[in-house]
């Protein structure tokens, strides 16, 4: 499963990762090899097997009572934010 | 006070309760060792001296008043993947270089409630993605047995710290072997509990359906003590299981007479180092001597665990790490031109090479046209592997095999080829895919380096796994071996 | 719509995706409040912000509400439904994924009946309804060069209700949306506040030649938050597609935005680029399993639903289907009506006319809700009682109503304070008639010479002289007799 340079660029775009010109061929090579490696799964007969999304089969989602338990801590939470103003997180202008 | 650092958790707890020494003394002794070792081992990312001493003084006051929890006054370290309020939590990444969590992970909270004193945060592979601790932004950790060698990963800092007796115990996490593999390579005891046994709340997620918090200690008895304080239901984690936590310490001394031990046939494969295999077989003979009945058990789909893992874990990680976008926390690139630039550069700069590789692999296997062929296929094969384990535990009480194929390898030896590195986890990943409890205990030396024996049990059989490990440690002293220079 | 020929040549196909915000106290996966209008990010906790290490736990009330909706839509409630992650990057989406349901939604295969303009009924299929979390808000105004992100709305529970592509006109789409709006408010699972975005929809619109069995390429118009916009946006879009196709062009499958100022839809190409949501089951959440006992306990809580109530009102009070439909369009209006009739049971049709007429007009004028308390049902009932017992005429009643509306007094207080009590004393009315006849000899002569139309003139003069208080029926009878010389 050899990935093309364009596919690597497409994956990096979907994942929002800037790759340097040096990194792209490295990932092209290693991702292709990883896909070859995991590709051996295709040979396994799983026709009648349900996918297992979770290690503890048979457990169901627990439900939380509908109660407000939180208070306003936005200043504390925003201490980690690169840029904020008037309680808002700021990003470069988003054009709709 | 030089003997203080050699004691395990159980011994320290007894000494502190009896007031033979104070928590401040114990904590100072360990802090001094941590600070001395830092240049050589790089086991810590943060050392919290002042906080630790304040906690130690509080513990001493509690102990003097006849109070204090099971771990009152005992210094421990947390893997830097657990969020700690007011203390930087980096996850080994540049992305979180300046991240200070506004909250404590449940594990951190529970251990603090038990009286444990946090002395610092340990180094780790970036976002727990690695098997050698070489992917940390904060530099590799070195193996106390030989600084040219890796300690294993991703919990390499915690493992090296316990092995060098910098702390008597440390928290760790295990997604594909990240507790057991470094435990084996550093000659200590490492327990990964059943998925759902220890809360994941506050543990920075790598692969949510595989991640599980656990412990690294010198002995199984110490692990039993520490796990007892960490485990338990957490209403903030939907995948946490509401089952009572047994008294692991009280159940340590179960006789092995009649215990059905399954030899994991697939683990004794061609990749297993002959000397390593010999040490494992030596331990199995010890078990036979203790009355256990050995049978070979085959799990035919188990060799597929590595390819399954390298689809499932990257898929989950690609989504889990999307929150690191330079907006609310974490690294943000300088002067972003626009939103796209903000995302791509912040993430491109903030993540290291292996993390990016896994994010990209995961993005690909979930994308349109490939989801069925990779992700769904892997989850189906995962079900086959799980079924193998279910069948095996109908025949035997525990499964035993090696933890790793070889002892510790040299720094840089496997960084060039990701697949070679991935295959280092070949014996540990199965337990994560099936969510099973598994422990690695030292079972001998190979060319002067420790190797581990892995004991896997059925869901929630931590007590059994610990007692089987403890039995070996009652008749052997491999776990008491301290690397040269660190005694 | 222009050109009758076009309308016969083309058929419109519409499917709606309605997003209804569930009326829970706390968010779907965290304990943050969902109150509207808080200071920026004051209601965004660690889970809503997607902080490292945090985990979601599902709100029981959100599940209950989704099940309620499913039962009201006569749908299948899934014994096992699964949350999935929809992955995409956007600043108002903190985790980089939205927790939603994909392959296994909680509700599937329901239906909703709408009334068409000609009075016939049409059943619209509801493909599915699933639970998901809302995103935050991006604010652009007043922030030069930057966008501000407020995550208070992030994590608010939504139910997305997806219809089959079974609507054939903008009017049908609006009728469907209105009916769904009525339903969620009856069920008390959504406040229905469209201005605040609690109830909004995306419309999938396509056209095809009449007789064609395959669907045309559709465009998705995003985020329509008023019934009027839904109608206008769809009509514009239909016209655009027809013109495009008739001039040899092709409709592109894309997301479009409706601009209410310009009255047109436009392409949102910026959001379109290479979306690949990479859905997969959320490993932080387990399958939601609902047993029959749970589903039945929810069913037991269901109120009388709009269709049933409308039918009951029509039968019980002798109302037309149309009137019963109007009165049951909201649960509050229907409650008001029934309370009024309970207190003034003499003439339910009269009550219906007043509730749909004067009352609704006054509420609209002052932009008030029927349950605002401005005019309690007991007050209106008091007024209706005075009409039916002939204390006042219908005309005077309107004056009394306005006074009640303005100052909050009861009908009786106003009638007595203003002396509006109807004159029903025959001799008193006769006295006024005599005076009027004496003052208008010319008109009297003309009337008697055959100018029947002048009857009205005399009615007016008597009403004027009595301040409108003469009982109209009595007045008519007496006047006819006297003018005729009797």
In tens, the pLDDT along C423-461 reads 888 888 889 999 999 999 999 899 988 888 899 999 999
The CATH number covering residue A20 comes to 1.10.20
Residues C194 and C211 in one domain: yes
The residue among C366, C391, C418 that closes a domain is C418
HEC profile for chain C? CCCHHHHHHEEEEEEEEEEEECCCCECCCCCCECCCCCCCCCCCCCCCCCCCCCCCCEEHHHHHHHHHHHHHCCCEECCEECEEEEECCCCCCCCCEEEEECCCCCEEEEEEEEECCCCCEEEEEEEEEEEEECCCEEECCCCCCEEEEECCCCCCEEEEEEECCCECCHHHHHHHHHHHHHHHHHCCCCCCCCCCCCEEEEEEEEEEECCCCCCCCCEEEEEECCHHHHHHHHHHHHHHHHHHHHCCCCCCCEEEEEECCCCEEEECHHHHCCCCCCCEECCCCCCEECCHHHHHHHHCCCCCCHHHHHHHHHHHHCCCHHHHHHHCCCHHHHHHHHHHHHHCCCCHHHHHHHHHHHHHHHHHHCCCCHHHCCCCHHHHHHHHHHHHCCCCCHHHHHHHHHHHHHHCCCHHHHHHHHCCCCECCHHHHHHHHHHHHHHCHHHHHHHHCCCCCHHHHHHHHHHHHHCCCECHHHHHHHHHHHHCCC
Q: CB–CB of A41 and B359 under 8 A? A: no
Predicted local distance difference test score (pLDDT) of residue B293: 98
Residues C210 and C326 in one domain: no
Mean pLDDT confidence for A39-43: 97
Asked whether residue A34 is assigned to any structural domain, the reply reads: yes
d(C-alpha C135, C-alpha C133), whole Å = 7
User: What residues in B contact C53, CB-CB < 8 Å?
Assistant: 82-83, 101, 105, 200-205
Predicted local distance difference test score (pLDDT) of residue A54: 93
Residues C338 and C433 in one domain: no
Cβ pairs bridging A and C (under 8 Å): 126
d(C-alpha B178, C-alpha B169), whole Å = 16
Count up the domains in chain A and report the number.
1
Rounded (10°) CA dihedral C56, C58, C59, C64: 160
**Any idea which residue has 């392409």 for tokens?**
C267
Count up the domains in chain C and report the number.
3
Mean pLDDT confidence for C353-376: 94
Residues C203 and C330 in one domain: no
Residues C49 and C95 in one domain: yes
Residues C39 and C20 in one domain: yes
Q: What is the pTM of this model?
A: 0.91
Residue A23 lies in domain: 5-42
The residue among C367, C401, C418 that closes a domain is C418
DSSP 8-state symbol, B351? S
User: What residues in C contact A90, CB-CB < 8 Å?
Assistant: 143, 146-149
3-class DSSP assignment, residue B105: coil
ipTM of this predicted complex? Answer: 0.97
Q: CB–CB of A14 and C143 under 8 A? A: no
Residues C406 and C448 in one domain: no
Residue C203, phi then psi, degrees to nearest 5: -115, 125
Residues C118 and C250 in one domain: yes
Whether B52 and B27 have beta carbons less than 8 Å apart is answered as yes
pLDDT above 60 for C249: yes
Rounded (10°) CA dihedral B290, B296, B298, B303: 70
Residues C454 and C372 in one domain: no
Residues C382 and C472 in one domain: no
Reading the block at residue B97, the tokens are 């270089």
Predicted local distance difference test score (pLDDT) of residue C99: 98
Asked whether residue A11 is assigned to any structural domain, the reply reads: yes
pLDDT above 90 for C396: no
Residues C353 and C467 in one domain: no
Residues C351 and C400 in one domain: yes
Predicted local distance difference test score (pLDDT) of residue C273: 55
Asked whether residue A47 is assigned to any structural domain, the reply reads: no
Residue C471 lies in domain: 426-483
3-class DSSP assignment, residue B477: coil
Question: Taking the CA atoms of chain A, what radius of gyration do you get in angstroms?
Answer: 22
Predicted local distance difference test score (pLDDT) of residue C4: 46
Q: CB–CB of B418 and A93 under 8 A? A: no
Predicted local distance difference test score (pLDDT) of residue B192: 98
In tens, the pLDDT along B415-433 reads 888 888 888 899 999 999 9
Percent of chain B with pLDDT over 70: 100
Cβ of B355 under 8 Å from any chain C Cβ?
Answer: no
d(C-alpha C149, C-alpha C259), whole Å = 22
In tens, the pLDDT along B113-132 reads 999 999 999 999 999 999 99
What is the least distance, in Å, from the CA of C66 to any CA of chain B?
Answer: 20
Nearest by CB: C26 against A62, A67, A94: A67
Element (H, E) at B419: helix B418-422
What is the least distance, in Å, from the CA of B106 to any CA of chain A?
Answer: 17
Asked whether residue A67 is assigned to any structural domain, the reply reads: no
Predicted local distance difference test score (pLDDT) of residue C142: 83
d(C-alpha B247, C-alpha B225), whole Å = 9
The answer for residues whose C-beta is within 8 angstroms of residue C206's C-beta and 6 or more apart is C12, C13, C165, C215, C216, C217, C218, C219, C241, C251
In order of their start, the domains of chain B are 2-258+457-480 (3.90.1300.10), 303-379 (no CATH)
Angle between helices C306-317 and C170-186 (to 10 degrees): 90
Whether B365 and B315 have beta carbons less than 8 Å apart is answered as yes
Cβ of C121 under 8 Å from any chain B Cβ?
Answer: no
Cβ of B385 under 8 Å from any chain C Cβ?
Answer: no
Predicted local distance difference test score (pLDDT) of residue C8: 63
């Amino acid at each position: 499963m050899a990935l093309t340079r364009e596919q690597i660029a497409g994956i990096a775009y979907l994942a929002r990762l800037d790759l340097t010109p040096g990194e792209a061929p490295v990932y092209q090579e290693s991702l292709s090899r990883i896909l070859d490696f995991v590709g051996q799964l295709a040979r396994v007969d799983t026709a009648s097997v349900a996918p297992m999304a979770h290690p503890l089969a048979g457990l169901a989602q627990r439900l939380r009572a509908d109660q407000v338990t939180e208070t306003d801590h936005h200043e504390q939470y925003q201490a980690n934010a690169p840029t904020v103003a008037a309680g808002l997180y700021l990003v470069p202008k988003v054009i709709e | 006070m030089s003997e203080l650092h050699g004691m395990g958790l159980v011994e320290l707890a007894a000494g502190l309760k009896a007031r033979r020494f104070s928590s401040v003394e114990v904590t100072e002794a360990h802090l001094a060792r941590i600070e001395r070792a830092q240049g050589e081992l790089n086991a810590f990312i943060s050392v919290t001296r002042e906080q630790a001493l304040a906690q130690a003084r509080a513990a001493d006051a509690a102990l003097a008043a006849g109070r204090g929890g099971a771990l009152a006054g005992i210094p421990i370290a947390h893997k830097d993947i657990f969020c700690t309020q007011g203390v930087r939590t980096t996850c080994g990444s540049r992305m979180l270089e300046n991240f200070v969590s506004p909250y404590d992970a449940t594990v951190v909270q529970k251990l603090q409630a038990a009286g444990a004193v946090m002395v610092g945060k340990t180094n780790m592979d970036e976002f727990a993605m690695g098997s050698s601790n070489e992917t940390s932004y904060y530099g590799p950790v070195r193996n106390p047995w030989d600084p040219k060698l890796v300690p294993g990963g991703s919990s390499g800092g915690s493992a090296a710290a316990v092995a060098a007796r910098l702390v008597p115990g440390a928290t760790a996490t295990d997604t594909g072997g990240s507790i057991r593999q470094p435990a084996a390579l550093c000659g200590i005891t490492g327990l990964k509990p059943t998925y759902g046994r220890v809360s994941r709340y506050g543990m920075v997620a790598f692969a949510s359906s595989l991640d599980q918090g656990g412990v690294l200690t010198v002995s199984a008895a110490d692990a039993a003590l520490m796990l007892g304080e960490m485990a338990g239901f957490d209403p903030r984690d939907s995948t946490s299981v509401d089952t009572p936590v047994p008294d692991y310490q009280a159940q340590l001394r179960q006789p092995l007479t009649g215990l059905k031990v399954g030899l994991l046939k697939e683990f004794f494969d061609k990749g297993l180092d002959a000397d390593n295999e010999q040490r494992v077989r030596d331990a199995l003979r010890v078990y036979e001597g203790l009355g256990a009945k050995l049978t070979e058990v085959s799990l035919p789909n188990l060799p597929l665990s590595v390819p399954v893992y390298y689809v499932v874990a990257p898929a989950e990680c690609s989504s889990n790490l999307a929150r690191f976008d330079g907006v609310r926390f974490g690294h943000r690139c300088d002067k972003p031109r626009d939103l796209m630039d903000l995302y791509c550069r912040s993430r491109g700069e903030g993540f290291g090479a292996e993390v990016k590789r896994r994010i990209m692999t995961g993005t690909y296997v979930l994308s349109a046209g490939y989801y069925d062929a990779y992700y769904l296929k892997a989850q189906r094969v995962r079900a086959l592997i799980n079924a193998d384990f279910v069948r095996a535990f109908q025949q035997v009480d525990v499964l035993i095999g090696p933890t790793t194929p070889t002892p510790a390898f040299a720094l840089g030896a496997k960084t060039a080829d990701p697949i070679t590195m991935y295959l280092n986890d070949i014996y540990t990943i199965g337990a994560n895919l099936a969510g099973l409890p598994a422990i690695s205990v030292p079972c001998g030396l190979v060319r002067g380096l420790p190797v581990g024996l892995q004991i896997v049990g059925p869901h929630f059989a931590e007590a059994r796994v610990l007692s089987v490990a403890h039995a070996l440690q009652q008749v052997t002293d491999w776990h008491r071996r301290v690397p040269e220079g660190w005694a | 719509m222009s050109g009758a020929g076009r309308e016969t040549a083309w058929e419109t196909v519409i499917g709606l995706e309605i997003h209804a915000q569930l009326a829970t106290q706390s968010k779907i996966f965290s304990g943050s409040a969902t109150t509207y209008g808080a200071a920026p990010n004051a209601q965004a906790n660690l889970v809503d912000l997607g902080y490292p290490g945090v985990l979601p736990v599902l709100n029981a009330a959100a599940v209950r509400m989704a099940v309620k909706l499913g039962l009201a839509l006569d749908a299948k409630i899934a014994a096992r439904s699964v949350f999935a992650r929809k992955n995409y990057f956007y600043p108002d989406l903190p985790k980089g994924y939205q927790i939603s349901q994909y392959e296994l939604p909680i509700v599937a295969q329901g239906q909703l009946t709408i009334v068409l303009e000609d009075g016939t009924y049409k059943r619209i299929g509801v493909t599915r309804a699933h639970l998901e979390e809302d995103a935050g808000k991006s604010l652009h105004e007043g922030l030069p060069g930057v966008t501000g992100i407020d995550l208070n709305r992030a994590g608010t529970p939504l139910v997305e209700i997806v219809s089959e592509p079974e609507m054939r006109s903008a009017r049908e789409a609006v009728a469907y949306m209105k009916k769904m709006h009525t339903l969620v408010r009856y069920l008390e699972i959504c406040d229905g506040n469209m201005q605040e975005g609690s109830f909004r929809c995306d419309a999938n619109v396509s056209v095809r030649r009449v007789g064609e069995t395959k669907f045309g390429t559709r465009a998705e118009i995003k985020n329509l938050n008023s019934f009027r916009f839904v109608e206008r946006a769809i009509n514009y879009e239909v016209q655009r597609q027809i013109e495009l196709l008739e001039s040899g062009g092709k409709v592109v499958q894309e997301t479009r935005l409706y601009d209410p100022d310009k009255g047109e839809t436009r392409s949102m190409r910026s959001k379109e680029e290479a979306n690949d949501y990479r859905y997969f089951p959320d490993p932080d959440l387990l399958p939601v399993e609902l047993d029959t006992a749970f589903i039945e306990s929810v069913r037991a809580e269901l109120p009388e639903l709009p269709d049933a109530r409308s039918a009951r009102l029509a039968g019980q009070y002798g109302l037309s289907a149309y009137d019963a439909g109007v009165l049951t369009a909201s649960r509050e209006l229907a409650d008001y009506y029934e309370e009024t009739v309970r207190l003034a049971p003499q003439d339910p049709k009269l009550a219906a006319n007043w509730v749909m007429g004067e009352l609704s007009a006054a509420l609209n004028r002052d932009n008030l809700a029927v349950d605002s308390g401005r005019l309690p049902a007991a007050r209106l009932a008091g007024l209706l009682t005075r009409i039916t017992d002939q204390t006042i005429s219908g005309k005077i009643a309107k004056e009394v109503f306005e006074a009640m509306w303005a100052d909050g007094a009861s009908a009786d207080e106003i009638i007595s304070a203003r002396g509006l009590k109807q004159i029903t004393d025959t001799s008193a009315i006769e006295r006024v008639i005599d005076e009027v006849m004496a003052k208008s000899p010319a008109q009297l002569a003309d009337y008697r010479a055959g100018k029947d139309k002048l009857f009205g003139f005399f009615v007016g003069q008597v009403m004027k002289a009595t301040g409108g208080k003469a009982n109209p029926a009595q007045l008519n009878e007496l006047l006819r007799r006297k003018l005729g010389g009797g």
